Amino acid sequence: MALKKLVAGNWKMNGLAADLGQLVEIARAPAECDVALCLPATLIERASRAAPNFAVGGQDVHASASGAHTGCVSAAMLQDAGARLTIVGHSERREAQHESDADVRAKASAALDAGLEVILCVGESLAVREAGAAVATVSAQLDASLPDRPVTAVAYEPIWAIGTGRIPTMDDIAAMHAALRERLVAAYGEAGGAVRLLYGGSVKGSNAAEIFAVPDVDGALVGGASLTAADFLPIVAAAN
């Protein structure tokens, strides 16, 4: 099934009010695919005022609705600020904040319960890839991270491809996405066929078209190249 592509940017810990002009330029550009930017929490409200019809998202969410969780942001808070979606399970959080698959699953559930769309990230380390265990490892990670109800998108992001300029071969992306599609259908039945499978890790204007042509690649999650309209819009154009 050909799904409408989603090109989502992840600004990570980058961006001040002065950078919102980039978002406005991205929001104004014509697109036949869905486009979203996941921002630092501090910018979500201003971004959603600056571009009211554009999909602004968070980069993480707490699994609890409220309470004594210093420094954390709930799904209701993200939504209250104007977010329509959130990322959960990014490898930078799985590694640096020691988030487990169960944590990611709880975050995804909380976000869906609040009415947010969810991009759930999975991906293998270089050691796992080199050991030939990438598909089995990432499939197991996905099985353990998926909430009961379908997420909007799953992003396959090999950790060794993030911010490095290295990407897997197109055959390796195809094999991984086919395996993840099988897991999604096993989890959700027919609805699993409608979950968009994004590729993430060093996506750029120069490699986007080739990646988007791979079967079962329904879009991209883009880090560094999402920070400016000049770098991001060619990726959107490749998806159109």
* Active-site residue (options: 99, 117, 124, 157): 157
10 binds ligand PGA (CB under 6 A): yes
Q: What angle do CA 99, 147, 55 make, to 5 degrees?
A: 85
Q: Is 90 known to be catalytic?
A: yes
Q: Is 18 exposed, middle or buried (0-12, 13-18, 19+ CB in 10 A)?
A: exposed
* Choices 51-59, 104-112, 175-183, 219-227 (CB under 6 A): range interacting with ligand PGA: 219-227
3-state secondary structure of 164: coil
* Choices 76-84, 103-111, 131-139, 222-230 (CB under 6 A): range interacting with ligand PGA: 222-230
CA dihedral sign of residues 153, 79, 159, 21: positive
59 binds ligand PGA (CB under 6 A): no
201 binds ligand PGA (CB under 6 A): yes
3-state secondary structure of 142: helix
- Closest-approach residue to ligand PGA (CB): 223
Nearest to 178 by CA among 201, 200, 199: 199
Nearest to 58 by CA among 33, 32, 76: 76
* Choices 17-25, 48-56, 140-148, 201-209 (CB under 6 A): range interacting with ligand PGA: 201-209
Among 224, 229, 235, 238, binds ligand PGA (CB under 6 A): 224
Based on CB atoms, which residue is closest to ligand PGA, 61 or 222?
A: 222
Burial call 79-99: b when 16+ CB within 10 Å, e when fewer: bebbbbbbbbbbbbbbeeeeb
* Choices 47-55, 170-178, 215-223, 231-239 (CB under 6 A): range interacting with ligand PGA: 215-223
Contacting ligand PGA within 13-52 (CB under 6 A): none
Least distance (Å) between residue 12 CB and ligand PGA: 7
Based on CB atoms, which residue is closest to ligand PGA, 193 or 219?
A: 219
State in Å, rounded, how far the first CA of the chain is from the last one.
17
Q: How many residues does the chain have?
A: 240
Site string for ligand PGA, 155-174 (x = CB under 6 A): --x----xx-----------
- How many Å separate Cα 31 from the centre of its chain? 18
Q: Which H/E stretch holds residue 37? A: strand 34-38
Among 88, 116, 203, 238, binds ligand PGA (CB under 6 A): 203
Q: Which active-site residues does the annotation give? A: 90, 157
Binding site for ligand PGA (CB under 6 A): 10, 157, 162-163, 200-203, 221-225
